[in-house]
Amino acid sequence: MIKIYVAKHSGFCFGVKRAMHIIDDVSKSGKSKPIYTLGPIIHNPQTVDKLKKKGISPLDNLDNLRSGTVILRTHGVEKNLLKELKSKRVDVIDATCPFVSRAQDYVRTLHENGYKVIIVGERNHPEVLALKSQIDDAIILESLKDIVKIKNIETQRVGIVSQTTQSIENFKAMVNLVMDYFKEVLVINTICNATSQRQESAIALSRKVDLMLIVGGKNSGNTMRLYTLCKRIAKSTYHIETEKEIKKSMLKNVKSVGIAAGASTPDWIVKNVKTFIKKIYKEELKND
């Protein structure tokens, strides 16, 4: 019988669970309709589609917004966009992850205390864009090649924060590099505990199984990092959004499967993946 293991820390994190509870409460309340989320509430297309069926749609922009309720996504919202939203006659509900809000606080505090702020993260990710918008002159470092951005900065003091879903490996590498250029470097590790736990659990599991499946949105940064980390250890590692992407060829000669899910992946998708694998295995047994 094929063995299927799910990483100890997997699926919805605290911030995502909180946001989904907020959405559920708003949908049942007397808040003005229609109900929107500002951008996708989380980076999981299947969850976003389910919300659409309930009448809760993501807004790409505020151009045609005239009424209703707008829920801020877990990643946070750019400062100017939030100001524009609050100027409209709509109800605004904040579902920003508290860990993201805390990182925004650190950016502002560092700036107020005279530090040049460096953010380690994906330059086009909504969380990073929201972090950067808190002040006028933050610098984003996504990879080691971005180091050219700091070579000519005329300051002795820098403060570094991280996108909350970054890998600790990349954050440490960037911090080490930055320290070569400045006399005073204040590092604040804003990677949330859930991210670290998921990465550690996924890595540990990938060492023990024949096949590793990383389940989550293809647009999810934290899920992509799980895939990257596990792929280095287990060559048979695949990133899938749903069970529909599993091919029989993936399971050939496989006796054990590990599953790790990103922080925005709902439990029902993981359950579907497990059920589908068992179904394929039973069908193969019948055909033997």
97 is in an annotated binding site: yes
Q: Is 9 annotated as a binding residue?
A: no
Cβ atoms of residues 260 and 212 within 8 Å: yes
- Comparing CA positions, the residue from 266, 211, 277, 275 lying closest to residue 239 is 211
Q: Is 222 annotated as a binding residue?
A: yes
What is the spatial distance between Cα 85 and Cα 198, in angstroms, rounded to a whole number? 34
Say which residues have a Cβ less than 8 Å from residue 18's Cβ, sequence separation at least 6.
Answer: 95, 97, 98
220: annotated binding-site residue? Answer: yes
Residue 230 labelled as part of a binding site: no
| Residues 210, 255 contacting (CB under 8 angstroms) | yes
Determine the 3-state secondary structure of 225 from DSSP. helix
Altogether, the residues listed in the chain come to a count of: 288
What burial class does residue 232 get, using C-beta atoms within 10 Å of its C-beta: 0-12 exposed, 13-18 middle, 19+ buried?
exposed
How many other CB atoms sit within 10 Å of the CB of residue 166?
30
Residue 190 counted as an annotated binding residue: no
Catalytic residue among 84, 112, 127, 200: 127
Query: In 46-71, which positions are buried (b, 16+ CB within 10 angstroms) versus exposed (e)?
Result: bbbeebeeeebeebeebeebeebbbb
Could you confirm whether 283 is annotated as catalytic?
Answer: no
* 100-109: burial string, b at 16+ Cβ within 10 Å, e else: beebbebbee
The catalytic residue positions are: 127
Q: List binding-site positions for [4Fe-4S] cluster.
A: 13, 97, 192
Q: List binding-site positions.
A: 13, 43, 75, 97, 125, 164, 192, 220, 222, 264
Q: List binding-site positions for isopentenyl diphosphate.
A: 43, 75, 125, 220, 222, 264
